[in-house]
């Protein structure tokens, strides 16, 4: 009975990836395309609005941030399996040598020669998860200052993204991707601030400028948005209003869940897929068994 219910479930699951190796992603694609219809985000949004038919199990594949590895390693696999995907790009970092802040922390730790560091009078072990979690509690300008103080305390040079796993797409690469009917490019702000941790005017500018830059560079409308970090506390009703005013049609969170008819298009849940997930772990995520086993 459980299997029949899953097969008949008309709800749509939005999957989110950040980093995944090509062999793992190909395993996921092979498994997904054999069991689900992989549909574009635009089709999913139309169904959520109440248009279109219930057509069994469907998933949407999304990637956040705009890493070069998507262009180089994963896009060929999407074409091989004819699977659509949406890539949410941080427009202010595309085509630059800058590292996104969490990647900057990881790069600093890789260059460190000590086991702990003191920043603002607090002693920190070189624990990536702990440092990132602390950084997320800081207001945006202060977060960047704190990371710079961390770098200075570690005594390492400011790393560059070029040639590393943290490198983002160039504009030419993003244009190539956007020209492929299988790939939809969406907005993810200019600099990836947690919107609830910046003033409302800064959030509005991040949203509006992001859309304007992407549309100018790619010469196509940008319809969809993903909230940076994306937890329920990372955005609010004012940000939803700003997205609507800017002309976005829907926005995706990182809140775990599935999408049914009539879901709030500006608070769409997703299910995070870890880069090292086996097909079994992916199946648990999709069937709702994850909470009981992981």
Give the three-class secondary structure for 33: helix
pLDDT digits (tens, 9 = 90+) for 108-145: 999 999 999 999 999 999 999 999 999 999 998 899 99
2-96+168-293: CATH architecture = Alpha-Beta Barrel (3.20)
pLDDT digits (tens, 9 = 90+) for 159-176: 999 999 999 999 999 999
Question: What pLDDT, on the 0 to 100 scale, is given for residue 287?
Answer: 84
Instruction: For the chain, give every residue range classified as CATH 3.20.20.370.
Output: 2-96+168-293
Asked if the model's pLDDT at residue 7 lies above 60, the reply is no
- For the record, the structure tokens of 221 come out as 């409308």
Secondary element (H or E) of residue 63: strand 58-65
Distances in Å between the Cα of 227 and the Cα atoms of 210, 224, 231 are 12, 10, 8
Q: Identify the band that residue 4 occupies on the pLDDT scale cut at 50, 70 and 90.
A: very low
Question: What pLDDT, on the 0 to 100 scale, is given for residue 136?
Answer: 94
pLDDT digits (tens, 9 = 90+) for 10-29: 789 999 998 899 999 999 99
Asked if the model's pLDDT at residue 225 lies above 80, the reply is yes
Instruction: Look up residue 59 and give its DSSP letter.
Output: E
Distances in Å between the Cα of 42 and the Cα atoms of 141, 150, 213, 250, 251 are 35, 42, 21, 9, 12
Residue 12 CA to its chain's centroid (Å): 18
pTM for this entry: 0.92
- For the record, the structure tokens of 36 come out as 């689900």
Question: What pLDDT, on the 0 to 100 scale, is given for residue 289?
Answer: 63
Question: What pLDDT, on the 0 to 100 scale, is given for residue 10?
Answer: 75
φ, ψ for residue 226, nearest 5 deg = -125, 130
Q: Identify the band that residue 48 occupies on the pLDDT scale cut at 50, 70 and 90.
A: very high
Q: Show Cβ contacts of residue 188 under 8 Å, excluding neighbours closer than 6 positions.
A: 64, 65, 66, 88, 89, 90, 91, 210, 225, 226, 228
């Amino acid at each position: 009975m459980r299997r029949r219910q899953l097969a008949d479930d008309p709800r749509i699951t939005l999957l989110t990836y950040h980093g995944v190796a090509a062999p793992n992603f190909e395993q996921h694609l092979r498994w997904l395309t054999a069991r689900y219809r992989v549909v574009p985000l635009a089709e999913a949004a139309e169904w959520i609005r109440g248009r279109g038919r219930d057509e069994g199990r469907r998933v949407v594949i999304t990637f956040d941030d705009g890493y070069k590895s998507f262009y180089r390693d994963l896009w060929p696999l999407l074409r091989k399996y004819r699977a659509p995907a949406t890539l949410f790009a941080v427009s202010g970092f595309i085509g630059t040598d800058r590292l996104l802040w969490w990647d900057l922390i990881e790069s600093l730790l890789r260059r460190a020669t000590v086991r702990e560091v003191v920043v603002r009078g607090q002693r920190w072990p070189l624990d990536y998860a702990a440092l990132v979690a602390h950084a997320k509690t800081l207001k945006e300008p202060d977060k960047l200052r704190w990371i710079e103080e961390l770098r200075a305390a570690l005594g390492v040079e400011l790393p560059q993204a070029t040639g590393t796993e943290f490198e983002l797409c160039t504009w030419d690469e993003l244009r190539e991707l956007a020209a492929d009917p299988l790939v939809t490019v969406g907005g993810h702000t200019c600099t990836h601030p947690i919107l609830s941790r910046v003033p409302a005017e800064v959030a509005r500018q991040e949203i509006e400028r992001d859309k304007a830059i992407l549309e100018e560079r790619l010469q196509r409308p940008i319809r969809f948005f993903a909230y940076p970090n994306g937890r329920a506390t990372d955005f609010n009703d004012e940000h939803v209003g700003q997205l609507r005013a800017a002309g976005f049609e829907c926005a995706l969170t990182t809140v775990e869940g599935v999408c049914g008819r009539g879901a709030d298009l500006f608070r769409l849940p997703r299910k995070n897929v870890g880069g090292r997930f086996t097909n079994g772990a992916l199946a648990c995520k999709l069937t709702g068994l994850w909470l009981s086993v992981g």
